[in-house]
A and B are shown apart, each in its own frame.
Chain A
């Protein structure tokens, strides 16, 4: 096979893969809508997915959020007052925790924990012919396997992002008491004055988009496994690498739209 043929075959393969992924995404959206409107069997799967992705990741998210808030407060209170801009600490907190790093770090945590888990689980289901069994019995595997995971991951990412913000913004108050003690009312007033509805909406939109990206990429790569068990870790790795890349690109696009 010549070089031209190889390039042509690779391009055709890429295009077909892209079209397949787009078709998969459309099918997931369609089946998710049907799952929401006629939710019966998969509700337990959804609950367990939120439990695994959301509740079990809460401790990690809370720890990271508190640590990040503490670092921002300590660094900010040591630097900003030197320029007479001590009140900017709340703006920095909101920009970092609510607008930028909160949704992204939460999504990275969910990708690392749940993205790999979903890819591995679906890959194992393919290897053990469970997917074929669904298809043989006339059950749509997208609706009954992918849709609850899509909703669960998206919802969990959103909720974890909310917790991340709450822990990051309020938890930093605890750290502030060790560095520069101020009354809770004053802290809340300063923070709430700096926090705008646009920040909250931006954070919510980002977390929903990030959750959808994680779920789509994880389920897609999980279902890409064909027959060998050695494909499962490869799918998990691809799920994480592609997921984080897409998260950063999506974050840049949403931030750009937000500032425009």
Chain B
């Protein structure tokens, strides 16, 4: 009898126990490896598309798998809610400024890279939203240098990393250009309320005000010129009187020699029954009148000068404002002239008739 038949029960027992033990060991190892008994911290992120994302996709941090995607859901607002977890042993790598980034390969497959925030904070609460790399919040965090972004070692991924921001910027520029074009069109139609429209409206108002101001200034200048002319006329009369008086004083045969002569006016003054005295008093009275008129004229000149002094800042301000308005208008017009979108496109080419004519083109 063969040994195995004699000890059939033992052989079969070993056969069964060994298989069960190996299977149990395999399952225990599997559970340990797959962290069946460890806690996972679940978070959400919102992507614009679910392309290249699949449940089970690993979330890596510096090459280590720290979590996995568990569910993908399309939201009411057409955003894609990606639920994922971070393993308990890596949860300290997550902080408030963390980001996640979807990296895909042209050959297929992809992964989500976890970027750690630069500031050491507590992990975000379970269920919180971790922004994506390309979201507005993610862009802000990167611009503020609040997140540690490692460059990929893969050449294709590096190229994609370089292209992605450019494409994002191009997209942003195109969006801004479209908005700018719309605004500009609306501005040119006078329907917008933006700064350019404000400048144009301000320029238009300022030009109108400037015209009114110039008219007012011209009127003031005309009035002033007229007053000055009348004053100058009065001053001229006074000056001529003074000149005549001075000339009379300088004349040796004039009043003073006549007054100093023993036979002159002084003697006559003393002995002419106050005739000459009365004449002198009359002259003095005339002089006083002239001096009074002169004083009034001087007072008028002073008042006008004071008026000019008080009016000068306003005039200066009006002129400065007009100059600034003209500068701003010139800038706007210059920018509009330099904008290729407003030049009316590519000018229509003028067809140049050929000077050469083939023999076939000749009439026969």
Contacts and interface: CB of A to CB of B under 8 A. Distances in A.
Contacts of B107: 83-84
A54 B12 contact: yes
B12 A51 contact: yes
B11 A193 contact: no
B27 interface: yes
Contacts of A162: 19-20, 22-23
B7 to A, nearest CB: 10
Interface stretch (B29-37, B126-134, B297-305): B29-37
B36 to A, nearest CB: 8
Contacts of A166: 19, 22-23, 26
A47 B33 contact: no
Contacts of A83: 107-108
A159 interface: yes
Instruction: Give the most central of B12, B23, B34, B107: most A CB within 10 Å.
Output: B12
B5 A51 contact: yes
Contact of A51 (B4, B19, B22, B34): B4
Given A162-B22, A193-B33, A50 B105 contact: no
Interface of A is mostly: helix
Interface residues of A, number: 24
Nearest to B27: A200
A50 B11 CA distance: 10
15 contacts: A48-B8, A51-B4, A51-B12, A55-B4, A55-B15, A58-B15, A83-B107, A84-B109, A85-B108, A159-B15, A162-B23, A166-B26, A188-B29, A195-B30, A196-B30
A193 B20 CA distance: 21
Contacts of B108: 83, 85
B202 to A, nearest CB: 62
Given A192-B33, A193-B33, A197-B27, A50 B19 contact: no
Indicate the size class of the contact surface on chain B: 20 to 34
Interface in A1-50: 47-48, 50
Interface of B: 4-5, 8-9, 11-12, 15-16, 19-20, 22-23, 26-27, 29-30, 33-34, 105, 107-109
Contacts of B20: 162
A55 B19 contact: no
A47 B22 CA distance: 21
B8 A47 contact: yes
Given A193-B33, A193-B34, 12 more contacts: A48-B8, A51-B4, A51-B8, A51-B11, A55-B4, A55-B12, A83-B107, A83-B108, A84-B105, A166-B19, A192-B29, A200-B30
A241 interface: no
Interface in A129-167: 155, 159, 162-163, 165-166
A163 B18 CA distance: 9
B19 A163 contact: yes
A162 B16 CA distance: 10
